[in-house]
Amino acid sequence: MNFKNLYSITKILITILVVASLVSCHNRNPRKIVSLTGWSSKDKKTAGFSEAGDYRGQQAPPGMVLIEGGSFTMGHVQDDVMFDWNTTPIKQQVRSFYMDETEVTNAEYLFYLDWMEKVYPPSDVNYENIYLSAVPDTLVWRDVLGFNELLTENYLRHPGYADYPVIGVSWIQANQYCHWRTNRVNEKILMDKGVLKNIYNLEDIEVSGENNFDTDAYLNNPNQVFGGNQDIYKKGLTDNVKRKKDDPKPARGEFTGRQVKISDGILSAKFRLPTEVEWEYAAKAIVENREYNNTRGRKKYAWDGKYTRNKSKKYRGDQLANFKQGKGDYSGVPGWSNDGADITIQVKSYEPNAFGLYDMSGNVAEWVADVYRPIVDNDANDFNYFRGNIFTKKMIDAEGNVVITDNVSVEYDTLDNGKLVPKSLPGSVKYIPITKRDAYMRDNYEKSYNVDAKDGDLKSTKFYAKDEEELETKPRMYNSPIKPREIGESGLIMQQYDTEKRNTLISDKSRVYKGGSWKDREYWLDPSQRRYLPEYMATNYIGFRCVTDRIGPMTYKRRLPTTTKIRY
């Protein structure tokens, strides 16, 4: 073999080695998700085990926009004319979530009321108080020295106010709406997937009472939903069970396949009220003030700038929000610069903020989930801070089954203002507080009720009781009125006035509301400002909007190559 041939063979071998090395490196992509057991998707399906689907990511729910999480300074207001300093600046990390573009409108809330009236007719003795507990207080428009009967009679139901934000809704009612919305969204998803029949189009199925679809009840045991009526189920998802040739074929119209699970990634996450941190973060939208890895300046409103008037050439001088401009001035002088609203105004009447959210300053203030405390302590959790946790678990009966509320024994809770609210709707799972045994030797929580966590500790004060034994000689930190819980023959509480001397109205039922309203001066438009009201009360200037959690990465915009598929 001559030198020339040897050189050619060597060159070919080197080329083969280089190509093999590149192929090997590609196959060992460190970002590729592999099976930790060696079982492939095909193997799992053959053996009848569950497998992760080809999850393409969470879609924004109807009417919502993604609020990409991050860090920001909560509080940090420019003015403190009240001199209570309850907006102490504190750095917070917020997780990504979805939020309604606008407040919940009269039209959307009326759909809720119509559904409640149809499913739980007030004429039925078992449901007579369920529908009434959801109806807003339309009398909030009344004033002893004002004439607003037109609004009392028309604001909620007249089509002229259909796209106006719903008001007269208490914090409790807003939470009930969020729970109802979760079930309706997931019910619609299962109908669109063909798992459920459209029960609202079926004349032979009574849509009432225990036929109410509940997400938690469905995930716990699908056969318990709709009162066990299997005729409502249409066709399930393809299961992984390998059937034998001699297995009988399912009868025509019989449910085949399997029910939907959380692991399918089909059902929506629960809707809820935003926490105070989430609401303030979304309202400030500091993303538009980002400069490299910092933010430029401080935002006083939901929009950028220090003023409430538009500075663009076309709309120069127009107000950027609906708020009270002065004593006896709710809209401005007729004509130029008039904000067009003496009370609330149709949603989306003003430009959105940088996140695409409308009316985060002005129109109506909004309920948030938190229990109010005067100061957000610097020692508080700096990751998704929230005060108001009551940890619960599913109620289990003597036979070991999850308890579902039936349509006969509906239990009600009597609020401090005498109104009745159902503890749980028929067809839904019953929950009870966790016990000390459930929290035994945990390092993250010790009990169920954490609303008053760190109240009255030594760091807070030296003048109030440190434990229950000292309550007889020393006052409570939050010495709010205590309503008597004596129940009369009618089932209502005996309404009595509190005669004790009280030093505060703050209690564990005081809930935060944020954002200025049509009835507020410019000062309250600052997203950092915070006020409170008892959770069972309603006004003509507080509404609400819902949020739901972002599942998975904060965003799909980066750090997840399109070539990477999360598949098992």
pLDDT tens-digit readout, 62-108: 999 999 999 898 887 666 776 667 787 888 999 999 999 999 999 99
Q: In the block, which residue shows the tokens 């796209």?
A: 163
Region 277-294: what's the mean pLDDT?
87
In the predicted model, what is the mean pLDDT of the chain? 82
* DSSP class per residue in 479-491: --------B-TTS
Q: Name the least confident of 238-242, 396-400, 432-436, 514-518.
A: 238-242
Check whether 236 has a pLDDT greater than 50.
yes
Q: How many Å apart are CA 519 and CA 343, to the nearest integer? A: 7
Distances (CA, A) of 321 to 101, 295, 338, 360: 15, 24, 11, 9
Report pLDDT for 316.
80
Report pLDDT for 567.
39
Nearest Cα residue to 168 out of 524, 547, 533, 548: 533
Judge whether 448 and 457 are in contact, CB under 8 Å: no
Sheet holding 365-371, edge to edge: 530-534, 510-514, 365-371, 542-543
Report pLDDT for 241.
63
Domain coordinates in residue numbering, the chain: 3-47, 463-507
Check residues 120 and 381 and name the one with the higher pLDDT.
Answer: 120
Judge whether 99 and 545 are in contact, CB under 8 Å: yes
Region 373-390: what's the mean pLDDT?
80
Q: Name the least confident of 52-56, 385-389, 529-533.
A: 52-56
Q: Could you tell me the pLDDT band of residue 566, with boundaries at 50, 70 and 90? A: very low
Check residues 334 and 13 and name the one with the higher pLDDT.
Answer: 334
* Residues in CB range of 322: below 8 A, 6 or more apart: 339, 340, 341, 344, 345, 349, 350, 359, 362, 363, 518
Q: Could you tell me the pLDDT band of residue 314, with boundaries at 50, 70 and 90? A: confident
Distances (CA, A) of 181 to 60, 104, 113, 219, 314: 15, 11, 12, 17, 40
- CB count within 10 Å of CB 95 equals 16
Region 470-486: what's the mean pLDDT?
65
SS3 content of the chain, % helix, strand, coil (to 5): 25, 15, 65
Check whether 218 has a pLDDT greater than 70.
yes
Check whether 205 has a pLDDT greater than 60.
no
Q: Could you tell me the pLDDT band of residue 40, with boundaries at 50, 70 and 90? A: low
Report pLDDT for 35.
63
Region 543-548: what's the mean pLDDT?
97
Judge whether 288 and 282 are in contact, CB under 8 Å: no
Q: How many Å apart are CA 171 and CA 417, to the nearest integer? A: 14
Region 210-239: what's the mean pLDDT?
84
Count of CA atoms in the C-beta half-sphere (13 A) of 270 = 12
Report pLDDT for 304.
86
Report pLDDT for 467.
61
Is pTM beyond 0.85? Reply is: yes
pLDDT tens string 141-172: 999 999 999 999 999 999 999 999 999 999 99
User: What whole-number percentage of the chain has pLDDT above 90?
Assistant: 40
Element (H, E) at 271: strand 271-272
Distances (CA, A) of 216 to 187, 333, 381: 12, 53, 29
Nearest Cα residue to 437 out of 446, 450, 424, 427: 446
Judge whether 431 and 393 are in contact, CB under 8 Å: yes
Report pLDDT for 223.
84
Check whether 465 has a pLDDT greater than 70.
no
Our CA angle for 195, 60, 299, nearest 5°, is 155
Region 462-466: what's the mean pLDDT?
57
Check residues 66 and 377 and name the one with the higher pLDDT.
Answer: 66
Q: Could you tell me the pLDDT band of residue 563, with boundaries at 50, 70 and 90? A: very low
Check whether 238 has a pLDDT greater than 50.
yes
Q: Could you tell me the pLDDT band of residue 378, with boundaries at 50, 70 and 90? A: low
Check whether 376 has a pLDDT greater than 80.
no
Burial profile 473-498: b = 16 or more Cβ within 10 angstroms, e = fewer = eeebbbbbeebeeeeeeeeebeeeee
pLDDT tens string 112-132: 999 999 888 888 888 889 999
Q: How many Å apart are CA 404 and CA 431, to the nearest integer? A: 9
Check whether 336 has a pLDDT greater than 80.
no
Q: Name the least confident of 69-83, 277-291, 313-327.
A: 69-83
Q: Could you tell me the pLDDT band of residue 244, with boundaries at 50, 70 and 90? A: low
Report pLDDT for 270.
95
Q: Is the dihedral of CA 471, 473, 479, 480 positive or negative?
A: positive
Check residues 427 and 202 and name the one with the higher pLDDT.
Answer: 427
